[in-house]
Amino acid sequence: MSEARHDWSKEEILAIYNKPMMELLYEAATVHRVHHDPNTVQVSTLLSIKTGGCPEDCGYCPQAARYHTDIEGNDLMKVSHVKAQALRAKASGSSRVCMGAAWRNVKDGPEFDQVLEMVRTINKLDMEVCCTLGMLTENQAKRLAEAGLYAYNHNLDTSEDYYKDVISTRAFEDRLETIDNVRKSNVTVCSGGIIGMGEEVEDRAGMLVALASLNPQPESVPINALVAVEGTPMAEMEPVSIWDMIRMVATTRIVMPETQVRLSAGRTEMSREGQAMCFFAGANSIFAGDKLLTTPNPDVNEDMAMFKLLGLNPQKPFVKVAQPTTTEAVDSELVPLGEKPKWTRPEHKIERNEIAKNNKKLVE
C-alpha cells in the first residue's frame, strides 16, 4: 500500500504528470481506492464574509483594491447572516463551510472577535468550519482552534520559482510561515494552487514538491483552474484544458495519497464527463453554491444531479479520510498492468479474510 512520501523530486513528479493518460489514470485511481472511498465526495460551501478592498496584488484576484473589476465590496458579515447561510448550505448537503475574508493578514480586534464568534456558531451546527483570512500568527491560529475551527486554507498558489510573477506584495516564505503557524494548533491545513496562470508544467510540479514536502502533508489540497476576470492582469489568459486539470488531479493524488484533493475553481467550464474523470483520478471534494467567493460556480442542484448520475455520496462532517469499506480497495493495491494484486493470491487468504471481517464490523 502506498504511503505518503516527503522527498519527491520535481523530476519524479514531472515523470508522473507526463505519463500516457490511460496509465496515469490507472495509477491514480488505484492509489485513490487504497486510501479513500471512491464513491464519497465532500461537499463544501465557500462564503465570502468580507469582499473586496484587499491591498495585495495577486494577479488572478478580482478582490484586489488596485484592480478595476465589477466586484461589489462589502464589510464583514453579521454573525446571524453567516449562520443563516450555513444552515442553507447544510440543508443542501454541505458538510463544511469555508469563510473567506479579503484581508492581507488577520488583525486582532473587534473584526477578528466577530470571526471567532462565526466559527463558534457554525461549529455548533455540527459542520466543519474552515477559514481563509490571509496571513496568521501562531496566537491567532490557537484562538481559532479554541473557537472550534476545523481547517485553515492558505494556498501556495504556484511554485516558488513562478510565485513572483503572480504576487509581489507577499513572499512565498510568508505563506509557508502561516501554514507552520496553523500546524502549531490542532487545526488541519488546506493548501493548494491554481493552474492556467501562464506557468510551465515544471511550476505545477514545483508546487506539488513544496506541498508534499510538508510533514505532515496538507489534509486538503484544492486544485483550481484560473477563472480569468476582466480588470485583473490575467484577464486575457486562455482557459486551462480539462486534460491539464485531470493530469494535475491525478498527479496530486499519487504524490499525496491520503490528502483530500479538492476540485475547486473553474468547474463551470467543465463538462460532467470532465468532472467525472477528475473524480476517477482522485478528486474527492468540491465546492458547492453559485459562487466561489466572487467567481461563478455550478448550482448546487446541478451538482446533486451529477452525484446521483455518478452514484456519489456526500461525505459526512469530521471524517478526515473517507476510508474504503470493502476488500475491493485492498485488491486494487498498485501493481503492474496484467499482474494480479498480492491480496488475490492463495498465500494471502488469511489476511484477506481478516480484512473482510474487520470491514464488515466497520459497516455494521
Catalytic residues: 54, 58, 61, 98, 130, 190, 262
Which of 93, 59, 52 has the alpha carbon at shortest distance from 76? 52
Q: Locate 86 and state its grid cell.
A: 450555513
User: CB count, 10 Å around CB of 40?
Assistant: 19
Residues 179 and 134: their CA atoms lie apart, in Å, by 11
Residues 6 or more apart in contact with residue 165 via CB below 8 angstroms: 59, 198, 199
Residues 147 and 139: their CA atoms lie apart, in Å, by 13
What sections of 92-134 are H helices per DSSP? 110-123
Q: Locate 181 and state its grid cell.
A: 503557524
Q: How many residues does the chain have?
A: 364
How far the first Cα of the chain sits from its last, in Å, is: 25
Residues 29 and 331: their CA atoms lie apart, in Å, by 12
* SS3 state at 151: strand
Residues 322 and 85: their CA atoms lie apart, in Å, by 26
Helix (H) or strand (E) holding 146, with range, is helix 138-147
Beta pairing partners, 151: 130, 188
Q: Cα 213 vs. chain centroid, distance in angstroms?
A: 17
* SS3 state at 95: coil
- List strand residue ranges (DSSP E) for the chain, in order: 40-50, 96-101, 128-132, 151-153, 188-190, 193-195, 220-225, 260-263, 283-288, 291-292, 295-296, 313-314
Which of 271, 269, 273, 251 has the alpha carbon at shortest distance from 261? 251
Which of 285, 279, 324 has the alpha carbon at shortest distance from 42? 285
Residues 52 and 310: their CA atoms lie apart, in Å, by 37
